[in-house]
């Protein structure tokens, strides 16, 4: 009888462990849940009629109206995003305390635009997803901490 209990216990533990590995793998691969714990990233989707160039990402020093003013921590990219393309950028920024992250880009008509991509962060973790059209930002998903 003891051998049967050990065999059943071993089988149950093995199945639970296999389920745990499969479940955690699916969670890591297909969930925004784990993305929010890694270093901050911004995914930019160009839905405009022309190329855009992401010039820089940085910590906002303050705001003038609803537009961010550049702070001391900035990361220059000069990354061109073609029509219909999407890129993910990982800025190397420093933050003490709390702040916000802005993105500055050059639009298809040559206009320089600066917008907030993460309205509040304490640790520069998580992500933002931005869709840029001819009229500016349309969709902004902010899951940053």
The domain that contains 64 carries what CATH number?
2.60.40
Share of the chain above pLDDT 90, in %: 59
Helix (H) or strand (E) holding 134: none
Q: Are residues 102 and 128 in the same domain?
A: yes
Domain assignment present for residue 35? The answer is no
Chain segment 87-106, per-residue pLDDT in tens: 999 999 999 999 999 999 99
Sheet with 67-81: list strands edge to edge. 67-81, 52-64, 99-106, 112-121
Question: CA end-to-end span of the chain, whole Å?
Answer: 54
**Stated pTM of the model:** 0.78
**Rg of the Cα trace of the chain?**
22
**pLDDT tier, 31 (very low <50, low <70, confident <90, very high otherwise):** low
Q: Is residue 135 part of a domain?
A: yes
Kindly give the residue spans of alpha helices, DSSP state H, lying in 31-91. 32-35
User: Residue 97 falls within a domain, yes or no?
Assistant: yes
Q: What domain range includes position 124?
A: 41-144
């Amino acid at each position: 009888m003891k051998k049967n209990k050990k065999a059943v216990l071993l089988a149950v533990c093995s199945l639970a462990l296999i389920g745990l590995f499969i479940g955690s793998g699916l969670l890591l691969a297909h969930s925004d849940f784990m993305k929010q714990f890694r270093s901050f990233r911004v995914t930019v989707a160009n839905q405009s009629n022309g190329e855009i160039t992401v010039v820089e990402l940085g910590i906002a020093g303050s705001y003038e109206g609803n537009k961010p003013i550049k702070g001391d921590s900035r990361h220059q990219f000069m990354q061109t995003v073609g029509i219909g393309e999407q890129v993910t950028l990982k800025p190397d920024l420093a933050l003490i305390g709390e702040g916000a992250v802005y993105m500055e880009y050059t639009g298809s008509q040559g206009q320089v635009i600066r917008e907030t991509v993460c309205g509040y962060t304490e640790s520069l973790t998580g992500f933002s997803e931005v869709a840029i059209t001819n009229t500016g930002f349309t969709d902004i998903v902010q899951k940053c901490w």
